[in-house]
Amino acid sequence: MTDSISYDILIIGSGIAGLRAAISAVSVDSKLRIAVISKVQVMRSHSVSAEGGTAAVIFEEEGDNQESHIYDTIKGSDFLADQDVAEKLVRSMPFEIYQLDHWGMPWSRRKESGRIDQRWFGGYSFPRATYAQDKVGFFEMQTLYDTCLKHDNIHFYNEWFCTSILTGDGNHSGKNSNNNFRGVTAIEMKSGNFFKIKAPAGIICTGGAGRIYSFSTYAYSSTPDGLDMAYRAGLALKDMEFVQFHPTGILPSGILITEGARGEGGYLINNQGERFMKKYAPKSLELASRDVVSRAMMKEIEEGRGFKHETGVHCLKIDLTHLGAERIRERLGGIREIGIKFSGIDIINEPIEIRPVCHYMMGGIHTNIDGATEMKGLWAAGEAACNSTHGANRLGANSTGECLVWGKITGELAAHYALNHKSDSLEISEHQVLEEEKRIYDGIFRGNGQINPYEARKELTDTMDAKAHVFRNEKDLAEGLKKVREIKVSTWKHVDDHAREYNTNFINVMELDSMIRTAEVVLIGALNRHETRGAHAMKEYPKRDDINFLKHTLAYYTASGISADRDNINNEDGSKMGWFPVTFTRYTPVERHY
């Protein structure tokens, strides 16, 4: 008999969105029992790695205004953002900045006035990235975690791995819009025991899928478990082809050099010593949107104006030496430490080698403007969700803001839903629990295979690096999809370590299972979008096509692969994807210039 635990609200994921949701839910009713379930210890959530800032308009008297922030976000998205969602983000953010301040967030401040300081970030018309040196994610997480600990009814389940969503009727195939959320199945990593955790309301806050790439800023734990869990439960993944490549990942690790480094005045240079962004974005230079900068960098490299790193990889450099030692130590101390430890370079004295790196997924679980999924009682927030805030390209510093805003919104909605459904029966069909046990224990833990799953994982992530990077083409994407599907059907589903306690081998293979399905969705979405828009740049289709592709992509899971909701598109292999309309409220698409 599977062990069972019951709560009023389950929050899966303990990053900024998850912690903000927990605080928001408990503020509705302090008697609600809330569980925050995380496969890592809370302060190991990848949100701690956010560096540069959180965007908000907080000084309108200095010339900035919310309408400018809304437009910058929509323009940055290459006009694929849902405009009502972008507005909700911008209108909500000033409150979140001041709320964090009241909870103890150590925002960096202006020396002369003591007011909260803001720095420039790419794609913005004003300096509106509110920051805490270059460790904003760590400080936001610590502030939120400390606040959570003040509430006895927020319970943390550290190092628990959620494996599936449980529903009221047990149906896990096709579109599940009429199902009710009833909980999740999870493995307590400490003991290896399998549990069903029941609740009438849930919020998925598990972050993005960036570890499907090898060269990535993401923590190694940032695999798409939450996305895949929703996908297998019949919920749509939206806009997954839009993968953001941040311009400045250091070599060879891929660790992020914050956009704040360019916001403070850093220069991107090629092997001729040129600030090459003058050719690509003469007005904004290094502070154009990330998709524009990354494409410019790759073009410089392709045309032979890059440097060759000692590993053999071609790259460019970011030069911060002209900022001076005092400013670097004060505002970019963490980046200086990263450069010394991981590249052997002190940015005070010399430029550091960088290259575009996988950094964010604009796509995620399809939600509405309030973060509600297609399943009753289930919401999604943060990078795991796609409420279409960012469209085809996210502006830096809007992601931590998204986590805060929709953490608050979904926490409140889930709390009210839980209160209204406390008397609901949480009976769950044992069939779906047994099916999940069979999938993960018979299919993976006790599976048979000759292929090393860690080698399969590296082959998958290397394939994504090679075939679905900044510039894409149909041949590479098709070859990448073929390779991913070859890995999918190969015999890698087996676990050599048969211990029950802390079996990270088992967890790693289950992560790979989710990575393969998610990578497949990314590649199929990219193959079906015949245009260049935001982070999706196709060599065969170098222009944006608003007539045919000003719409979101949706992917639904079926036993045979991917099916569609609207306007099916057939691929050669028979899999399908669908489309969903973009919401326009104020701005007509125009050609972007920076």
For residue 94, what are the contacts with CB-CB under 8 A and spacing of at least 6?
56, 57, 58
How many Cα atoms within 13 Å fall on the side-chain side of residue 547? 1
Name the band, by pLDDT with cuts 50, 70 and 90, for residue 401: very high
Please check whether residues 338 and 437 belong to one and the same domain.
no
How does residue 571 score in pLDDT terms, banded at 50, 70 and 90?
Answer: very low
pLDDT of 477 over the 50 cut? yes
In this predicted model, what pLDDT tens digit does every residue of 489-539 receive, in sequence order?
A: 999 999 999 999 999 999 999 999 999 999 999 999 999 999 999 999 999
DSSP alpha helices (H): ranges in 233-268? 260-263
pLDDT grade for 176, boundaries at 50, 70 and 90? very low
Residue 573 has pLDDT above 70, yes or no: no
Q: What is the pTM of this model?
A: 0.94
Q: pLDDT of 307-338, one tens digit each?
A: 999 999 999 999 999 999 999 999 999 999 99
Domain boundary among 298, 333, 358: 358
Indicate whether 512 belongs to any domain.
yes
Residue 383 near residue 360 (C-beta atoms within 8 A) = yes
Domain assignment present for 9 = no
> Cβ-count burial of 206 within 10 angstroms (0-12 exposed, 13-18 middle, 19+ buried)?
buried
Check if the beta carbon of residue 406 is closer than 8 Å to that of residue 86: no
Contact 402, 380 (CB under 8 A): no
Question: What is residue 423's predicted lDDT score, i.e. its pLDDT?
Answer: 77
Contact yes or no for 103/409 (Cβ under 8 A):
no
Percent of the chain residues past pLDDT 70, beyond the cut: 95
Same domain, 354 and 434: no
Where is the domain boundary, 309, 336, 358? 358
Does residue 276 carry a pLDDT above 50? yes
Q: At CA 565, angle to CA 559 and CA 571, rounded to 5? A: 65
Report CA dihedral (245, 360, 57, 588) to the nearest 10 degrees.
Answer: 70
Q: Residue 202 has which token pair? A: 């849930």
Quick one: 528 and 438 in the same domain? yes
Residue 385 lies in a domain: no
- Which of 405, 385, 386, 409 has the alpha carbon at shortest distance from 397? 405
pLDDT at 33: 97
- The residue-averaged pLDDT of 387-409 equals 97
Q: What pLDDT, on a 0 to 100 scale, did the predictor assign at position 174?
A: 42
Q: What average pLDDT does this structure show over 209-214? A: 96
Question: Are residues 514 and 434 part of one domain?
Answer: yes
| Percent of the chain with pLDDT strictly greater than 90 | 89
pLDDT higher than 50, residue 574: no
> CA 257, 263, 269, 273: dihedral to nearest 10 degrees?
-130
What is the DSSP secondary-structure string of 271-296? TTS--THHHH-TTTGGGS-HHHHHHH
Contacts of 125 (CB under 8 A, 6+ apart): 64, 68, 71, 72
Within 390-503, residue ranges assigned H as helices are 398-420, 430-437, 453-467, 474-489
d(CA 125, CA 399): 18
Q: What is the pLDDT of residue 177?
A: 39
What's 274's domain CATH number? 3.90.700.10
Cα distance between residue 95 and residue 114, in whole Å: 19
Residue 354 is part of which domain span? 246-358
**Average pLDDT over all residues of the chain:** 93
In tens, the pLDDT along 407-439 reads 999 999 999 999 999 877 788 888 999 999 999
Q: Is residue 526 in some structural domain?
A: yes
Token digits of residue 215? 């060269």
**Which three-class secondary structure state does DSSP give residue 228?**
helix
Residue 179: pLDDT band with limits 50, 70, 90: confident
For residue 331, give the H/E element and its range: helix 325-331
Residue 19 lies in a domain: no
Residue 558: the pLDDT is 78
Low-confidence winner among 54-63, 237-246, 578-587 (lowest mean pLDDT) = 54-63
What CATH number does residue 538 fall under?
1.20.58.100
143-166 average pLDDT score: 97
Of 300, 326, 358, at which residue does a domain stop?
Answer: 358
Residue 188 domain flag: no
Residue 568: the pLDDT is 45
Per-residue pLDDT for 572 more than 80? no
Helix (H) or strand (E) holding 470, with range, is none
Tell me which residues are annotated as active site.
Answer: 246, 262
pLDDT given at position 427: 81
- Which pairing describes strands 561-563 and 551-558: parallel, antiparallel, or unpaired? antiparallel
Beta bridge partners of 5: 197
Rounded to 5 degrees, φ, ψ at 505 are: -60, -45
What is the count of structural domains for the chain?
2
Tokens found for residue 538: 């196709």
Q: Which residue type, as a one-letter code, is found at position 412? A: E
Please name the residues in contact with 261: beta carbons below 8 A apart, sequence gap of 6 or more: 52, 134, 248, 318, 320, 332, 335
Place of tokens 């599976």: 447
Q: Do 354 and 446 fall into the same domain?
A: no
CA distance 211 to 225: 11
DSSP class of 305: -
Residue 419 domain-assigned (yes or no): no
Q: Is residue 509 part of a domain?
A: yes
Pair of tokens at residue 176? 């599940």
